[in-house]
Amino acid sequence: MKSLLLSVLFLALCGGLFYVSKQRWGIESNVPEGVKVLNNIEKQGVPNFELKDMDGNLVKLSDFKDKVVILNFWASWCEPCVDEFPTLIKLIKHFKGEMVLIAVSADHTYSDMENFIKAFDVKDPYIKILWDKDKKTAKSFGTTILPETYVLGHNLKVLRKIVGVDKWFSTEALEFFESVVTSQK
């Protein structure tokens, strides 16, 4: 009888440990997809991609590994994106080729993106406007909220990730980017 009681207690203890372990594993598997993607980017680097610019040229992120890159995910229907876009343009023009803006559009149609860009008269060799028609590039970065921006240093190392609007041409931003550009030389 005593051995039966010990066996039951042992089985109950094992079952309890299994239950607690299963609960713990279940919590870990519920990590949001965006966090998993960001963790992967921190370990393996940013995913490379190829998208066409507005002139039909293929643009690869890896082509800019020797520049400071602002990788901005946006859409013309996104009001915060519209608000911050002029300051991104002003920032890139201020640094005269020391930085590149790669603006990846999540617009539903090419014409929506094209009309938006025409309104801002974006003509600068250091501003690349790309259309992520199928949203695969945004997904590879875990982007679900617009705007979302990555600041990448040389070798495309993530220096910052910004979700939402930022003041790209503020005194603080200019000081930050000046230090980044200087340290990347």
Cβ contacts of 91-96, under 8 Å, gap ≥ 24: 91/168, 91/169, 91/173, 91/174, 91/177, 92/124, 92/126, 92/127, 93/124, 94/169, 94/174, 95/68, 95/177, 95/181
C-alpha closest to that of 64 among 97, 104, 29, 36? 97
What is the 8-class DSSP label of residue 101? E
Q: How many CB atoms lie within 10 A of CB 125?
A: 8
- At which residue do the structure tokens 């945004």 appear? 138
- How sure is the predictor about 79, in pLDDT bands with cuts at 50, 70 and 90? very high
> For the residues 24-34, what does the mean pLDDT come to?
64
**In the numeric block, which tokens belong to residue 66?**
């020797």
Residues 101, 110: Cα–Cα separation, whole Å: 19
Whole-structure pTM value = 0.81
C-alpha closest to that of 64 among 152, 123, 131, 3? 152
Average pLDDT of every residue of the chain: 86
Return the CATH number of the domain spanning residue range 33-183.
Answer: 3.40.30.10
pLDDT digits (tens, 9 = 90+) for 7-22: 444 444 555 445 544 4
